[in-house]
Amino acid sequence: MPEIKAFKGIRYNLEKLTNLADVICQPYDQVTNKMERAYKNRSPYNFIRLVLTKYCEGHNRQREYRDARRYAETWSKEEIFTGDDKDAIYPYWQEFTINKTEHIRKGFICLVRLEELGKGNILPHEKTLSKPKADRSNLLNITKKDFEPVFLLYTDTKNRVNDLLEKYCKDKPLVEAKDENKITHKLWRIDKTEPIQEIAGLLKSSVFVIADGHHRYETAFNYSKELGNIKKDHPANFKMIALVNIEDPGLVILPTHRLIKNLDDFSLAGFLEKTEKSFDIRKTDKDNIINDLAEAESGAFGFYSPQTAYILRLKSKKTMEKLLADHSKEYRTLDVAILHTLLIEDVLNIKPENIEEHVRYERGVRDAMRRVDNNAFQFCFLLNPTRSEQVKKVAQNKERMPQKSTDFFPKLISGLVFYDVAGE
């Protein structure tokens, strides 16, 4: 059973900093070099100096790891950071608007005892890449700080956990800030033993599914093992997480589109000839491809290049049954699985071990198309979003989706609270 735990969070000292919005940042894997510069210009105490960016090229990473440790230590001494004196869990709400509809995603931040993914009650849903894990491992080893929570999902059809948490969210939040994407982040603190124990009891038979943060979770697990024979309750045996009910109406998943590059022998005619063996191909255009894709059923994709655009629709589910007979029905019907198996691996001959050389990922559909128009990429595949129930079922089958199968929106903001894993 998953074991959740309260902890003494470390937070920005609002007596020293007047505007929390100046120091929070997006999670490291969302931060470009341009965003990093903007964050650093916003405040000398911006959290980006601790979490760094996902891009290592052009960076002196070893120096940045050491600087992150120095900033964390210095800011603590200068009381830019303050530590809570009681173990607590932290209700965390995000208020946002998407497609002109207002949402509130409700969760809470706590610790969970680390266990090997897929071997117990904490399940992955995506595959991971080696480079991000190495980067996060280096940062953790040098700073001894757990700066960013992993985003986990649990199932609570009766909404008992959130109903309990909401009793403590009627007062003014402990902290509140609006980020650059106009998303409002609110954090409360519950340090009373009774509700913490009650929530832990409600979740003791749960299965947790990682929504975002696979690399950070695996890094934390590996770090705890590298320490060797440590006490059961050593801080490194736990990972800071944010838990959200998979039934929460504020849970939104966006698609992550695939941008393709470095295909030296690519021919549009050849691509279409191979593709039509498994897909119906219908011509569309730049102005209509988004709506045409949204109206399509599962197993449909948009193909966009500077010259043309198409909707590709899978002819028969039997094609995936033959190719992925060892996978579950739930996995075989995932759009991302169909895309990677039939189009990326089969038609384009991009094997999984070479995917980082040819495939990049983009959340915004217009941004993906613009990058193709600017000749940064040869073409892109546009997708519909994965549904939350698909994430749950695939994870329960102990299967992992292709990397970047989901984009849970919004991301958990970094800088609200963090955790010291050093121990005594």
Mean pLDDT of the 376-404 span: 89
CA gap 404, 242 in Å, rounded: 19
Q: What's residue 417's pLDDT?
A: 98
Looking at residue 100, its amino acid is K
Confidence band, pLDDT 50/70/90 cuts, at residue 128: low
Predicted pLDDT of residue 424: 64
Q: At what angle do helices 130-143 and 214-226 cross, to 10 degrees?
A: 50
Among residues 205, 231, 256, 259, the alpha carbon closest in space to that of 384 is found at 256
Provide mean pLDDT across the span 6-31: 96
Condensed to tens digits (0 to 9), the pLDDT of residues 221-270 reads 999 999 988 999 999 999 999 999 999 999 999 999 999 999 999 999 99
Please state the pTM of the whole predicted model: 0.87
List beta partners, residue 397: none
Rounded CA-CA distance 240/313 in Å is: 41
313 has a pLDDT exceeding 90: yes
Q: Which domains does the chain have, with CATH numbers?
A: 4-252+410-420 (3.90.1530.10), 256-384 (3.30.1760)
* pLDDT tens per residue across span 160-171: 999 999 999 999
Q: How confident is the model at residue 55 (pLDDT cuts 50, 70, 90)?
A: low
Burial of 424 (0-12, 13-18, 19+ CB in 10 A): exposed
SS3 159: coil
Q: Give the pLDDT confidence score for residue 171 in this predicted structure.
A: 94
Report, as an integer, the average pLDDT of 47-75: 91
